[in-house]
Structure 1
């Protein structure tokens, strides 16, 4: 208490004990005077306002923020009790306090805050408000929400991989928190994420390099987090290709006539998976493996038999065998060595024209000579067929005849039969003509969809001899003729229309039309161009709290077609553009996926940060207020 010269009485820090009657007396020689004052001390017990009555659910790894606003006279002191009994108040923790307590922050208004919530933060939290008059409490139950892992397309599946290739086993999972992906081999051993044999990508995909037969079996993908586990089994099969010799499967027989003292090369090129082992078998079961190097006879690594200065006694039957794990193929060569040579001669006219018919079409080519000429058919597209070879619907028989099964307009054109031996060369030409209108061999059974910005390819395959006229009519009515290029549009020689860098204005109906003297055919294709505006699926919270010096990340991940451009606007109005490479602007780090990281925040970084995603269709934005305390 203090009495001033003017008679004023001052009482500091009033309490209940100061309540009562106060008498002020004034006295001098002339007499006394007094006044009685009654003092009542106003008090109010501590009370928590707006008590939370329901449970709070917090995502695993998210932020926990619980308010506890209390009133009272004098102002109540607020403390929090954690699930493990630890007490937290607004007094800063000392350096030697527990790590658990340090993770919590209590603001001056009584709000309890924690980032990166884990399972141990689940439980009952109690807020206590107390002053000299009374106390109050509020209990809040915190439930940490987690989602057990779920593997997409988790059904048992079989993956077939060619021998020696790379097997790709997919395993993507969702869950909260993000599941950890591991793979187990058929031997029930954990697969190391990175090795010469295996590689596990960030999305959980397993790559098995140079697959062998011992890699066959069940591979198990496990997705784990604190909420549980999910598994997926993928069975890997290794495909082996039965050997082919010179493009022929199983057994084949060829005749080879050569002149005495010449060099002869007999091809035995084998394909298969794994690569076949090749050997040549001579009479009396003499076996020469590839490679083999003798004084007169050589077997090259590719299987070719090389005989120098052939003799009459070399007129024998030879057998080439190619073997691998998938089986074997054989090629029998009847080698004939003769004394003289004769130039190849045609038994048929050198030129002939025939009409296209249904069923089986036969093109004759009979050539004689010494040694026996090697006959090759050359198709209109330039493909060469040796004797005994079959490709698609074409079969070159051993007698030199070319057989075409179920020919169509696409097979119309000029066919060349070529006969060669050491003495010379002869050629016969057969022209296959069409008496039909042109056919378009490809069809479109549904809409063609393409993403905005990608290149569009529309096929209109129509052959013939002569080549029919072909045009494409665009949705805007423009007509292009084969071959032609106009701006972004091109019609290739094969009839394919290409549109570079499509946009939404390229949608609509495209019409291809082919015409010859017998009629015309058409093909219509409806094209849609896919594009949608950006939508930010993972953005920052409205308010982001951070401690000084503790890096804070602001997410901004948009979905858009075409890809959206992301720009961050700083509190001072500066705009930062996200690029394909990480960028650093002083204290600010920009991730290529759109996130912004304040690496060493301080109160100077407080303010509104705005993320905007934009493409040709539209835009989306998110804002957050960063508060560094």
Structure 2
């Protein structure tokens, strides 16, 4: 019979919590500019450029033009934003603007191109009046304040047919200025032209600029006069109505009207009652109007019942008109562009028809309320530190009628009226309201609203109420709102546990989860304040801490996990054993895994109660085994996080006391897995007898 050398293998199984390390990525400091890349701005309007940064608590900004020209505007820094305001836009603003943002040593830059143009109003059609059939006349189309005027295209149309067209590309000027451009068409009207519309189309087709509108048009109806035949009435004009200048009661009666139809070469006569129309005049708008400073205002005086009226304008106190007058047939137009303090008057329009005179007046009241209020917040807002919110309204008149109010969620925080600040000087003013407070973290994310009103009942204009809102961003020490263990703080061995720490913080906080220890705390790798612990053992029991920290401070909260044994996971306490025969060789192997690698040693329990050290190797071999070698052999595995032991009983049989056994033999597999301070152990014991 061959010699059988059984192998004794010990396996310690250690199940541990495997932690996945989620890398933290620092979001890069970035900036944006709005509008992006380029913008077309109209001369005289307001343009706001905004430079915004992200992922930087206290950025700094600067603005400049690429050629270091003056900015032509005002800069306002507000937290993570820097605003360049150009009001009004002018030729000095046609540049490439560069915004630079710094966060410590990090620097970002972006630029935007500002192109300017001017195309503020529809064209105006002027007709040489009166239009008499067969007499040469002209129609002129004008467009005011155009830039660049060399890109303008004008066209006169009637019923879709082009009457005249002009392009101004040859009129390029070396001087930057807005210009008035016109197109005139000369013709001899016929009575068939009466009632037809003539249209002027103006286009500024600059493809490299984005703005609207690029096309404007105006239409005007032609009124062509012809003379009645066989009439004794002087200076009669017909356009569906017989008009008698300086009409008297004696002019009433019948007139003979002769109409020729050239197509049929036929003349017919009819007698119709005359409709005598008296000389009258109107002014529009009627009675009074409120005009905003800086806007354009047109007053129109119109007459009826007169072929060739004459007009004049003046103020009641004979002050300068503060505008330009244009007489066009039965209309006289007084244009104030822009409206200013010099236009706050009663205006009188006089119209004459021969010796007859008519007069009407209109009151022009002026005001200024051109823009929404601006909210300025002293930044940064730190919880518990005094701060202020200021609401400003620019270019207000009359400012003594202004009312300002700061509110949040409908609750009034501060209010101010300016009726006591009446000034003897006419001027637009900037008014403000400041509210001082100590913000709390509960204020974070709330909207604060500034409401500005100019409630002048005696003036009709819109809007009389403007408002602006801004969201508060309050910095504070982090607040740990929740720190809990799922499913419970008391669990059984083998269960899974989730540790959750929820934090409210501005600026965002760094969250660290730790397992507390008398020697050294262990940091748990977490994502968003969450850690999963799989298959807990008694080694996972203890105190756990959540720490949240930002630039303003830190907060800590602790919780305790208790772990009890689960009967289903209790190791088999029966000691494994193996029987061998005298003279054989026995090999016992202890397999251990851990991080760091454990040290393995073998000892033998003597009958007197003492222990005999045998080896520091994982494998213990006994050659030529004797009866006195029987007993209990113990394997111990140790690293800095703990130790584990297991034992096997060796039975030695005499040479003639044989038992039937299998040809191979294992006692125990022992595996140890250790990760940081989290260790979970389970044991599986088996006994295999050897055979002949």
Q: Same fold (TM over 0.5)?
A: no
What TM-score comes out, normalization by structure 1 length? 0.31
Bigger relative contact order (CA 8 A; separation at least 6):
2
| TM-score of the two chains, using structure 2 as the length reference | 0.28
